[in-house]
Structure 1
Amino acid sequence: MKGIVIGGTRSGVGKTVATLAIIRALQEQDYTVQPAKAGPDFIDPSHHERVAGRPSRTLDRWLQGDTGLRRNYYRGDGDVCIVEGVMGLYDGDGSSTAMVAESLDLPVVLVVDAKAGMESVAATALGFQRYTEHTDTDIDVAGVVAQRAHGGRHERGIRDALPDDLMYLGRIPPRDDFEIPDRHLGLHMGDKVPLPPGVLDEAAEHVRTERIVDIARTPPHPPHVEHETRQPETNKRVAVARDEAFRFYYPATIERLRERANVVTFAPTAGDELPDCDGVYLPGGYPELHAATLENSPAIRQLGTAAAEGCPIVGECGGLMTLAETLTTTDGDTHRMAEVLPADVQMHGRYQALDHVELRARERTLTADSGQSLRGHEFHYSSASVAGDSQFAFDVERGDGIEDGRDGLYEYETLGTYCHVHPASGAFDAFLEAM
């Protein structure tokens, strides 16, 4: 499967709209498109999935390493893979868009804001193309899409100013309805404010999608590892929360759990009870938006009993918040949560942590052996005040964690972290083995 990376000069330049428009246009041309996202993100992929009709792959060098990144790429399926970048092309020391493009040896289409420039747009793009000469990253910036560009003289000025080795690949007009509203963790989810197909068709009208397919390349296959064997099935039953409050999970995580166990989903905000199971996974999401409902949810109330009886439970970020004693929203309303972990969570108006994370296990825990390192990411607007005698499973070697360089609040066989880990870390295999 050949692919291409849609990079940007900065965050907010319009990469997501450009990516969605290209996916939609290629599908209309009878291509099967596999979407992907560079970097740890759950929101942009929800927009990809809504347009492409298939889950978006997460591609992150920090989380997966070069080989794991390529393996995850090749778990996708389609005629062409469209990879949306993260932030600006070179931003991020853990796994930038440029690093992902280098690991896969894919060309980059650079999205540049053309709202107030012509020749300067070309100069900006040329600077991004040449900047790779001053870094340790070797990438091919092959072409440019001009975002918020008019036609006529404006378009000609940009196109004619580009050097021969930097292809003009079209423009997206300046239209208010080509924007996706923001919320505090980024864009709204794809099913909340989707861009209608007609809008995406208009956005892609002046993009040269055939040329984009022409310059796409097939990445090298990951090396075969002789000792790598398929992990055995466990016959375990894992309950996974999936609803409006619990939406942030990597597709690869659910795939991994399904490979080795029977996965049953439940919706706490819909009044579901906790299913009969051997373990529970609470992914991240927006529990703060549904705190009043979760406070009275049968499943959340039953988590306390299940935890006290020794059922293994893992909660990540929003899952951690739900497992706490209380959750206080930015409006000042305090809601009782599952009351499993000795912490009170407070929402804030500004994010409290945003980074790639590395944790080291203090002793054997649900997702790691003693001394084992796990890599993940954190992005949250809450903080947790924990009891003085609380137990922590991890020391934080990179990132913030819950408190004082520690993460993994632990009680019974329940583990709550602010860190989202990828299955490439082995954390979910360890979780299954602990059941």
Structure 2
Amino acid sequence: MKGLVLGGVSSGVGKTVATLATIQALSDAGREVQPAKAGPDFIDPSHHEAVAGRPSRTLDLWLCGADGLRRNYARAGLADGARAGTATEPSTPTPDICVVEGVMGLYDGDASSSAMVAAELDLPVVLVVDAKAGMESVAATALGFREYAAEIGRDIDVAGIIAQRAHGGRHERGVREALPDDLEFFGRIPPNEALEIPDRHLGLEMGSESALPRAALREAAETLETDRLLAAAREPTAPERERVDPTAVDATIAVASDRAFCFRYPATIERLRDRADLVTFSPVAGDPVPDCDGVYLPGGYPELHAAALESAGTLAELGARASEGLPVFGECGGLMAMSQSLTTTGEDDAEREPGTGTTHEMAGILPADVTMHDRYQSLDHVELEAIDDTLTARAGETIRGHEFHYSSATVDSDARFAFETVRGSGIDGDHDGLVAYHSLGTYAHVHPESGAFDRFLEFAAGTRE
């Protein structure tokens, strides 16, 4: 599967809109497009899926490692049935081109920048440049980004640009003609207020909530040059070692899936489904906890639905089941839901007026009380070392992940932690992972390439036995 990386000159330059317009343009040209995201984000991929009609892959060097990155890309190039290892008819055709949205500016990020991902996969970079107030300067910026790769000794192929917020006519011609011959002009994204995605804490609103109008997206797609994009795309570097799929385990895993628990990587769901039986349930809707051997609570926005979560009854039932020994693994928003209480700011609570935040009871599994803040409390790639055997790692093992949260947790004096933080803030600056019964809640999100979910499955199956 050939691919391209859309890298930006900075954060906020319009990479997501340019990526969505590119997906739309290639789809309209008859191509089956696989979206992907460099970096650990969950929100931008939800917009990719709304346009492409298939889940967006996570390509993060820190989370996956080099071979894991390549395997994840290669796995994305399979039809749904082949990814699941089944002989069933796939629900979507095999993709033939991958569009990877970058993270921040092209070279920004010491753990997994867009440039690192592009270099590891040997994919060309299409640079998204804000052209609203420039022409020759746009070309100079693109040339500087290409030459900088040589200065730092990185093999980054900046193939050309997409001019964001560029008008047609003289403006477009000025940008196009200023580019050197070896930098392609792949088209422009015209200024259009309809192409602005609303945002909130943690980033943009989800694609299921605020998808861009298809008419505006198609209008932007028409100004992109799909033939040039397709000609520039190329096949990535293959993984050195193919993944050996672990054997199935005799376990059923229940995954919370609704507006409060919506941050999960496609590869995570694939791994759980490949090795065990998987069922979903909605704590917001008050679904009963399924008959299962383990529960996964992904991240998301429990603070936006705290009143509903408190009154629905599912979390209270989950707390009772956990106290009886049911393994529950929660990440970030999942940790918040597993706590004793969650105090909102009001601005983040869909049930209340701004400035009137309140405290809601949660599942009561973990000895912590969580409070939301107006400013983010942590944002980083993390590395954790297991203190003792736990739900996602054995003693002494390290796992890598990512944390981004606006909440903080005040823990009881007798709280037990699962991990020491080698990198990152965790819960108290030095530790992450609260442990109670057979359950674990972390601020870190992890990818299945870390091995954490395999350990979780084996633990759940062992508990069943």
What is the TM-score of this pair, normalised by structure 1? 0.98
Q: Specify the alignment match of 1:41 in structure 2.
A: 41
Q: What is the deviation of 1:229?
A: 3.3
**SS of 2:161 mapped into structure 1:** strand
**Aligned twin of 2:328:** 313
Give distance in 2, aligned partners of 1:406 and 1:149: 47
Query: What's 2:128 paired with?
Result: 111
Shift of 1:350: 0.7
- How far apart are the structure 2 equivalents of 1:125 and 1:279? 50
Aligned pair partner of 2:201 in 184, 189, 208: 184
| Contact 2:4/2:125 (<8 A) preserved | yes
Q: Deviations along 1:236-289, whole A, 9 cap, x unmatched?
A: 000100000000010000100001100100001112011111000000000000
Matched, 1:369 2:384: no
- Cα distance per residue 1:212-257 (max 9 Å; x no partner): 01110001211235xx632111120001000000000100001000
2:381 paired with 1:356:
yes
SS in structure 2 opposite 1:275?
A: coil
Give, as a single letter, the amino acid of the residue that structure 2 aligns with 1:377: H
The residue number in structure 2 matching 1:70 is 70
Question: Could you say which residue in structure 2 is the equivalent of 1:93?
Answer: 110
Give how far 1:29 is off: 1.2
Letter paired with 2:231: D
Structure 2 distance, partners of 1:341, 1:415, is 8
Q: Which amino acid aligns with 1:290?
A: H
Deviations 1:335-374 (A, max 9, x none): 0000110111000011100010100000100000100000
Unaligned segments of structure 1, at least 5 residues: none
Note if 1:206 corresponds to 2:223.
yes
CA contact (8 A) 2:29 2:226 kept: no
Choose which of 325, 333, 340 in structure 2 pairs with 1:325: 340
Secondary structure at 1:87's aligned position in 2? strand
Question: Is there any run of 5+ residues in structure 2 with no aligned partner, and where?
Answer: 78-94, 347-356, 461-465
Aligned residue identity for 2:323: A
User: Structure 2 CA distance, aligned partners of 1:287 and 1:136?
Assistant: 44
> Mean Cα displacement is larger for which, 131-140 or 159-168?
131-140
Are residue 297 (structure 1) and residue 312 (structure 2) matched? yes
- Partner SS for 1:17: helix
Please say if residues 194 and 213 of structure 2, whose CA atoms lie closer than 8 Å, have aligned partners that are also in contact.
no
2:267 counterpart residue number: 252
The answer on whether the counterparts of 2:67 and 2:241 sit within 8 Å (CA) in structure 1 is no
How far is the alpha carbon of 1:303 from its aligned partner? 1.1
Three-state SS of the structure 2 residue aligned to 1:191 is helix
Contact 1:89 1:98 in 2 (8 A): yes
- Equivalent residue of 2:105, what SS? coil
1:268 pairs with one of 283, 304, 307: 283
Report % sequence identity.
Answer: 66
- AA partner of residue 400 (structure 1): S
1:392, 1:224 → 2: CA distance?
34
Matches of 2:448 and 2:154 in 1, distance apart? Answer: 26
Name 1:232's counterpart in structure 2. 247
* Count of aligned residue pairs for this structure pair: 433
Shift of 1:138: 1.3
Distance 2:18 2:445 in 1: 27
Does residue 408 (structure 1) correspond to residue 442 (structure 2)? The answer is no
Which range moves more in the overlay, 88-97 or 160-169? 160-169
Deviation at 1:318, TM superposition (A): 0.1
SS state at 1:376 partner: strand
Q: Which of structure 1's runs of 4+ aligned residues deviate more than 3 A? A: none
1:137 maps onto 2:154 in alignment: yes
Find the residue that maps to 1:137 and give its secondary structure.
coil
Q: Which amino acid aligns with 1:412?
A: Y
Instruction: Give 1:134 shift.
Output: 2.1
Amino acid at match of 2:193: D
- The question of whether the paired residues in 2 share the 8 Å contact of 1:274 and 1:298 is answered with no
